C-alpha cells in the first residue's frame, strides 16, 4: 500500500525513483532482466531504471506529477501516459504532440491526472520494438478506494516475450511482415511483473485488489484465479458497477486494464494459481502465496462496494457527430489499394515496398487530415467497422468512451456484458465486428486513435482527430 498523500515508487525490490514527492526520474536504457527465473539466462532488454516492468509510479487524483525522462537508448523515444486524460502537450506521441526525445536527450513531463485508477506508461515512438524490449511500467493514481474496501493492493503487469532457449530476445523476428499482417508479434513466454511464475504475497481471508494490465504487443490475454470468483470493479482505470467476471476469467486486449477484487480462500501456506486461460488450457502464470501466519478475519459482505467514480463527461449519443472508421487489410483479406503518405499504392507494393498492410478509411499510416475535428464539448460517435478477419484493440488518446453497441454479420460479436456500463480507453473488436463508441471531445489538441496491437499500428492502423 502507499503512504498517504505523496508519491511513492514501489518497484518490486528495485531502486526508488522518486527524487521528492511528486517527482520522478525515469532513465530508459539497456539492461538485463531475469525473465525466465534463471540467473544464468538473463535477457538483454531495454528498461526504465533497469527494471522490467519499470517502477510503479503512484500519484493522486488532482495533484501534479513531474517525471523527467532520460533517454539513454541509441534511438529517439517518448513516454505516453496511457489512459490519462492528459494535457495534449504531455501525451508523448512522437510527431503529433512532441518531437521525440533524441538519444542522450531528456524531457520533463508535468501533468495533473484528473482521474484515479490503474494506468500505465510506455514509449510512443517505434513502440512495436521499444515495448517488446521491455519499456513499460505501471502508473497508479490514488483516490478511488473507500476506507477499508480491501486489505491489499497488488499489480499484475502481464507481458509475453519471444525469447530463445538461451533467454536471448528473439531479435530476428522484429519487423517480420508476416507477424505484422497477422496477429502481431506474439511471445513464447509469459511474465507477470517481469518474471515467469511471479509469486505475490497474500494472507488467507484478506480482500485483495488485483490490477491486471496487459502490456503485450499483440496478445489478447485472459486471467482467472483458480477457485476464486473475481469481482470486476474498474476497466481501463474507470470504475464500473461491480460485476462477477465469468468463469473463463477477465479478457484483456493489449493495453487494457481490469481491476478485480477477490477474497482469499486459501489456507495459510497455500499457493493459489493465477491462470492464463486464453488458450485451450488454463496455464498457471503466477501464484498468490498465502503467508504462513494467521488468517485475516475481517468480515465483509460478499459483494464489494463500488470504487469512487471519476468525473468523466457522458456523451449524448442522440446529438452526436457521427464518424465512420472502416478498418481493412491484413492476411486473408488484404487491401486492393490504399493511400500511404499521400501516394496511392496497390496492396502488393504497399506491403512489400512500404511495409503497410492495414488501412483506416483507405489510408495506411497517419493521414494528413484528421479523422474528424470536433469543437470542445461536442459528443462524437465513432462507428468502427472491422472488415478484417483479425481482432483489434482500438485505443483512443486523451478521452474515455462508452461502448454503445457491438454487432456482427458473422455473429462473432463479443458480448457487451459489464462493458455496457464502462468508460474505456481501449476496446477489443472481434473479427468482422462493428463497434459503436461515443465520447465527449472535451480535451483540446491532436489525439491519436489506433490499434494497440503494435505491429498493426506500425503497419497502417492509425489515425488522429483534433479537438479545437
Ligand atoms: Cu498505449 Cu497510443 O497508446
Ligand atoms: Cu489491430
Going by pLDDT thresholds of 50, 70 and 90, the confidence category of residue 135 is very high
In this prediction the pTM is: 0.94
Give the number of other CB atoms < 10 A from CB of residue 461. Answer: 28
For 220-258, write each residue's pLDDT tens digit.
999 999 999 999 999 999 999 999 998 889 999 999 999
- Tell me if the bond preceding 15 is cis, omega within 30° of 0: no
Which among 463, 447, 378 has a CA at the least distance from the CA of 90? 447
Q: Is 395 a pocket residue for ligand 1 (Cβ < 6 Å)?
A: yes
**Atom in ligand 1 nearest the alpha carbon of residue 93:** 2
Q: Is 462 a pocket residue for ligand 1 (Cβ < 6 Å)?
A: no
Name the phi and psi angles at 348, rounded to 5: -70, -50
Q: Residue 118 pLDDT > 70, yes or no?
A: yes
**Atom in ligand 1 nearest the alpha carbon of residue 82:** 1
At 416 the pLDDT is 79
At 1 the pLDDT is 31
What sign for the dihedral angle of Cα 408, 410, 412, 417? positive
Which among 385, 390, 396, 397 has a CA at the least distance from the CA of 360? 385
Work out the average pLDDT over 406-414.
Answer: 76
Q: Residue 403 pLDDT > 50, yes or no?
A: yes
Q: How far is CA 172 from CA 9, 129, 164, 185, 352, in A?
A: 35, 12, 10, 11, 18
At 408 the pLDDT is 86
Ligand (nearest to CA of 214): 1
At 317 the pLDDT is 78
Ligand (nearest to CA of 91): 1
For 282-311, write each residue's pLDDT tens digit.
788 999 999 998 888 888 899 999 999 999
Structural contact between residues 417 and 440, judged by C-beta atoms closer than 8 angstroms: no
Ligand (nearest to CA of 119): 1
Element (H, E) at 151: none
Which among 172, 155, 176, 150 has a CA at the least distance from the CA of 163? 172
Percentage of the chain lying above the pLDDT 70 cut:
95
For 375-393, write each residue's pLDDT tens digit.
999 999 999 999 999 999 9
Structural contact between residues 282 and 276, judged by C-beta atoms closer than 8 angstroms: yes
Structural contact between residues 218 and 254, judged by C-beta atoms closer than 8 angstroms: yes
What is the 375 CA–ligand 1 centroid distance (Å)?
23
Work out the average pLDDT over 69-79.
Answer: 98
Q: Residue 17 pLDDT > 70, yes or no?
A: no
Q: Residue 334 pLDDT > 90, yes or no?
A: no
Q: Is 448 a pocket residue for ligand 1 (Cβ < 6 Å)?
A: yes
First to last CA, the chain: 40
Q: Is 424 a pocket residue for ligand 1 (Cβ < 6 Å)?
A: no
Rounded CA-CA distance 353/390 in Å is 23
**Atom in ligand 1 nearest the alpha carbon of residue 83:** 1
What is the 461 CA–ligand 2 centroid distance (Å)?
7
Rounded CA-CA distance 106/467 in Å is 28
The DSSP letter of residue 267 is P
Higher pLDDT, 33 or 410: 33
At 240 the pLDDT is 97
Which among 71, 149, 93, 155 has a CA at the least distance from the CA of 120? 155
What is the 457 CA–ligand 2 centroid distance (Å)?
7
Q: Residue 191 pLDDT > 80, yes or no?
A: yes
Rounded CA-CA distance 201/20 in Å is 28
The mean pLDDT of the chain is 93
- Identify any residues that bridge with 329 across adjacent strands, giving them in sequence order: 358
What is the 453 CA–ligand 2 centroid distance (Å)?
5
At 34 the pLDDT is 96
Work out the average pLDDT over 442-453.
Answer: 98
Work out the average pLDDT over 126-147.
Answer: 97
At 412 the pLDDT is 66
Ligand (nearest to CA of 180): 2
At 6 the pLDDT is 32
Q: Is 257 a pocket residue for ligand 1 (Cβ < 6 Å)?
A: no
Residues with Cβ < 8 Å from 382, sequence gap 6 or more? 323, 324, 325, 401, 436, 437, 438, 439, 449
- What is the SS3 assignment for 326? strand
Residue position matching grid coordinates 486513435: 449
Name the phi and psi angles at 38, rounded to 5: -145, 105
What's the half-sphere exposure (Cβ side, CA atoms, 13 Å) at 374? 27
What is the 214 CA–ligand 1 centroid distance (Å)?
12
Q: Residue 3 pLDDT > 70, yes or no?
A: no
Q: Residue 153 pLDDT > 70, yes or no?
A: yes
Q: Residue 79 pLDDT > 70, yes or no?
A: yes
Q: Is 209 a pocket residue for ligand 1 (Cβ < 6 Å)?
A: no
For 349-370, write each residue's pLDDT tens digit.
999 999 999 999 999 999 999 9
What is the 393 CA–ligand 2 centroid distance (Å)?
6
Amino acid at each position: 500500500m502507499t503512504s498517504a498523500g505523496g508519491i511513492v515508487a514501489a518497484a518490486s525490490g528495485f531502486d526508488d525513483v522518486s527524487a521528492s514527492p511528486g517527482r520522478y526520474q525515469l532513465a530508459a536504457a539497456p539492461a538485463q532482466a531475469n525473465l525466465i527465473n534463471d540467473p544464468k539466462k538473463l535477457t538483454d532488454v531495454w528498461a526504465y531504471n533497469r527494471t522490467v516492468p519499470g517502477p510503479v509510479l503512484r500519484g493522486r487524483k488532482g495533484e501534479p506529477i513531474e517525471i523527467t525522462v532520460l533517454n539513454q537508448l541509441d534511438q529517439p523515444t517518448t513516454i505516453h501516459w496511457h489512459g490519462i486524460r492528459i494535457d495534449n502537450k504531455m501525451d508523448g506521441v512522437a510527431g503529433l504532440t512532441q518531437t521525440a526525445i533524441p538519444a542522450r536527450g531528456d524531457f520533463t513531463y508535468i501533468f495533473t491526472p484528473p482521474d484515479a485508477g490503474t494506468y500505465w506508461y510506455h514509449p510512443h515512438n517505434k513502440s512495436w520494438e521499444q515495448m517488446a524490449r521491455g519499456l513499460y511500467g505501471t502508473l497508479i493514481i490514488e483516490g478511488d478506494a473507500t476506507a477499508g474496501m480491501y486489505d491489499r493492493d497488488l499489480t499484475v503487469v502481464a507481458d509475453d516475450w519471444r525469447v530463445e532457449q538461451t533467454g536471448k530476445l528473439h531479435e530476428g523476428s522484429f519487423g517480420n511482415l508476416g507477424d505484422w499482417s497477422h496477429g502481431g508479434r506474439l511471445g513464447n513466454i509469459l511474465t507477470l511483473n517481469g518474471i515467469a511464475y511471479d509469486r505475490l504475497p497474500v494472507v488467507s481471508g484478506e480482500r485483495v485488489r488485483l490490477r491486471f494490465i496487459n502490456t503485450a504487443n499483440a496478445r489478447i490475454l485472459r486471467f482467472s484465479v483458480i477457485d476464486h470468483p473475481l469481482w470486476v470493479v474498474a476497466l481501463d482505470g474507470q470504475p464500473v458497477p461491480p460485476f462477477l467476471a465469468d468463469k473463463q476469467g477477465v479478457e484483456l486486449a493489449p493495453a487494457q486494464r481490469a481491476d478485480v477484487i477477490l477474497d482469499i480462500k486459501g489456507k495459510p501456506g497455500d499457493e493459489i494459481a493465477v491462470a492464463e486461460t486464453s488458450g485451450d488450457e488454463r496455464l498457471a502464470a503466477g501464484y498468490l502465496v498465502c503467508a504462513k501466519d494467521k488468517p485475516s478475519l475481517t468480515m465483509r459482505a460478499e459483494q464489494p462496494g463500488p470504487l469512487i467514480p471519476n468525473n468523466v463527461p457522458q456523451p449524448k449519443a442522440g446529438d452526436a457527430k457521427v464518424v465512420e472508421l472502416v478498418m481493412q487489410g491484413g492476411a486473408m483479406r488484404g487491401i486492393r489499394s490504399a493511400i500511404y503518405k499521400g501516394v496511392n499504392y496497390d496492396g502488393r507494393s504497399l506491403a512489400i515496398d512500404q511495409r503497410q498492410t492495414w488501412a483506416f478509411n483507405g489510408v495506411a499510416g497517419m493521414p494528413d487530415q484528421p479523422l474528424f475535428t470536433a469543437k470542445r464539448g461536442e459528443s462524437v460517435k465513432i462507428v468502427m467497422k472491422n472488415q478484417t478477419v483479425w481482432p483489434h484493440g482500438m485505443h483512443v488518446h486523451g478521452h474515455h468512451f462508452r461502448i454503445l453497441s457491438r454487432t456482427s454479420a458473422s455473429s462473432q460479436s463479443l458480448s457487451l456484458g459489464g462493458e455496457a456500463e464502462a468508460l474505456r480507453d481501449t476496446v477489443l473488436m472481434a473479427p468482422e465486428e462493428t463497434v459503436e463508441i461515443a465520447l465527449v471531445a472535451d480535451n483540446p489538441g491532436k489525439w491519436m486513435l489506433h490499434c494497440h496491437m503494435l505491429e498493426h499500428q506500425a503497419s497502417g492502423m492509425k489515425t488522429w482527430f483534433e479537438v479545437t
